[in-house]
Chain A
């Protein structure tokens, strides 16, 4: 039974170190904890991608010290084919779950959703604390799989059955590694369910006086929509991984078919459905893509509006479009299974909403571009990364048009084209959203400014680097380069090896550029210039409170909201922005629409 009675107004400022910094109930501390977890996870995930790229670009490349990570996986510091797949699986799992879901949704959402809604805290702070620590435990379990005898699982982040369900007989990491992976994801699901519960209830019940739903900033709307998706999607992934665990430890046959012979062993399972896993997984998996990207859409909109000094062309249409993306994301999951042998009519049924979902995506992009057109955008690190997000989202989105059609997808499925598509549209775009959010909100989170020159340098190098890495993937895919190959020995693949070399160099260089960001983050945290309360002249509630915000967010006086969130360049106003808490009357035609 969930504890439903505790709510924010009941917990005072903590006094002990443990309550203040470790098992904190404060949503702001929990948000920072999530951010720190995502930062550690992204570094691990990036290093894994470096190792993979070195192996792909330069066959049999000896990576000094790799044998220390796995004696069997990298004898003589050269990666075995199996170990390549193990690192690839961990890269995908870490990035999708512990970075792309954790940072834009759980980290920024935890810190800023209550503040932007005018709440003192989340309504169930104990659940919120558990949410982080359960997620953290999931990450530790996943990392532990590096250190079991045969290493982590090699089945890919999608863990398709029957490979994922048959046990150690199918390869290194397919026994204990899969079980650890499944437990890790189960913990992650629980954490996100607790988080979503808090996010939804905060948005519905904890808003301050005057804060109607339409007065919420776009970032708050994005977190709200994402939390509804998280609540429904992770609640489905959870049973799927439970069934997977049972196939391993209880000998059940949910996902393993009869008479399966692997490595000369007849498996004792019978009658399992290999496609059942795909249905359950992708029912979660496709919404997960939007769980990763919608918070970025909200963050980017929020950043751009503040820097354009004018609202988006339509606040409401942007919200409705994000909502439409969320709803449609549940109806398209079958497009991941076009080549699974499904009935062509089913393919059509999934293809149609997949094409439809491009409509709200396009509306969102057009609103961004239309709003940017003619605006005098302030150029800073945050706004640059917001523009970068849009660029990546468009580039990656366009390839989605191709993949949405079964006839083309059959050719491109499981090639690097798909890898390029989802890395641009989901991964890099979301990462740009995280960077943008960091440069934008860092002053409020820490009380110090980040170095602007380093930020802009970081943007340009990352922007160019990301395109150098991921655009060639599309070319490789069209040339027929199948993904998940650990070496390219076929005649038709050999001419493509120089492209892989180029990508590897670009990946190493772009990864190294991130040291600028890490340096900026750490240096600014301790020695950056002190931040004013409202460094960007923003209007939403996070800028109306102290920097950094006090324990209960707003000090002695709870805010009262008088305006829509983005009152910029209002005619006749005393300055070029009117804060939501300002009682100054607004005579604009846009107000209170």
Chain B
């Protein structure tokens, strides 16, 4: 899987007005004199902004789930505390590790794109490792659900289990989306058309999924 890249992938460059829209830039504050020559063409790639917007939306969704859990538990007499399946702790290590491996890969490709290094040393290897860890995480989650179901602990067994399934499945679906993103990054890298903004957006999403999982684990551990 060792890969040596001999020609740089296409990079995102600032767009000129003749090349399309976007030079307005969100930092583009027109000076009081109105002199457009002083305007900095600093439009960030839409993917950079877009990923933060998407993460804000996902944050709101999980905040809503959290508040639902807190409110539902607050007045509940039927709440049964559940023991989390031990494999979740292993899965936590897996997803944290995957963030590190992705960051190693991202930095190597970024340094290469930025011209700091002449060759990108084995970035694909780390991307594949990240992908494998992501798949392992999802498989681990499926194992956890299977383990609970085999003990007869299902969605409707008790409200604590309901929340456990809802939160972990919602998170796993989002991680699956991240896996799709990683596959896309690898495919684009192989085709030499990977853009820095795509790589950065994917890695931000992935790190967010890791952080979100740690948050969920703490929440589940404390509340369930």
Type the 1/0 row for B29-62, where 1 means its CB is closer than 8 Å to any CB of A.
1101110100101011111111101101110110
Judge whether B113 is part of the interface by a CB distance below 8 angstroms.
no
| Contact partner, B17, options A3, A8, A202, A208, Cβ 8 Å | A208
Contact A273 B51 (CB under 8 A): no
Judge whether B3 is part of the interface by a CB distance below 8 angstroms.
no
Contact A123 B30 (CB under 8 A): no
Judge whether A592 is part of the interface by a CB distance below 8 angstroms.
yes
Judge whether A212 is part of the interface by a CB distance below 8 angstroms.
yes
| Contact partner, A5, options B63, B156, B198, Cβ 8 Å | B198
Q: What is the distance, in angstroms, from A135's C-beta to the closest C-beta of chain B?
A: 16
Contact A250 B22 (CB under 8 A): no
Q: Which residues of B contact A210 (CB under 8 A)?
A: 24, 28, 30, 36, 39
Known contacts A119-B21, A205-B45, A270-B78; is-contact A253 B64 (Cβ 8 Å): no
Among residues of A, the one whose C-beta sits closest to the C-beta of B34 is A592
| Contact partner, A209, options B24, B29, B177, B188, Cβ 8 Å | B24
- A591 to B24 Cα, complex, angstroms: 19
- A432 to B78 Cα, complex, angstroms: 50
Q: Which residues of B contact A283 (CB under 8 A)?
A: 64
Looking at B82-90, B93-101, B121-129, B179-187, the stretch in contact with chain A turns out to be: B179-187
- A279 to B72 Cα, complex, angstroms: 11
**Interface size class for chain A?**
35 or more
Contact A243 B166 (CB under 8 A): yes
Q: What is the distance, in angstroms, from A162's C-beta to the closest C-beta of chain B?
A: 14
**A interface with B by C-beta (< 8 Å):** 1-5, 7-9, 114, 117-121, 123-124, 193, 196-197, 200-202, 204-213, 215, 231-232, 235-236, 238-240, 242-243, 246, 250-254, 258, 270-273, 275-276, 279-280, 283, 557-558, 560, 562, 591-592
Give 15 A-B contacts (CB < 8 Å), ordered by A residue.
A5-B201, A202-B46, A205-B24, A205-B44, A205-B45, A205-B48, A206-B43, A231-B60, A236-B61, A238-B61, A253-B156, A258-B78, A271-B79, A280-B64, A557-B18
Assuming A210-B30, A254-B68, A258-B77, what are 19 further A-B pairs, CB within 8 angstroms?
A3-B184, A4-B46, A4-B54, A4-B197, A5-B198, A114-B21, A119-B22, A121-B21, A204-B49, A205-B24, A205-B43, A206-B22, A210-B39, A213-B26, A246-B166, A253-B159, A254-B72, A276-B68, A557-B18
**B interface with A by C-beta (< 8 Å):** 15, 17-26, 28-30, 32-34, 36, 39, 41, 43-51, 53-54, 56-58, 60-61, 63-65, 67-68, 71-72, 74-79, 155-156, 159, 162, 166, 170, 177-182, 184, 188, 195, 197-198, 201-202, 205
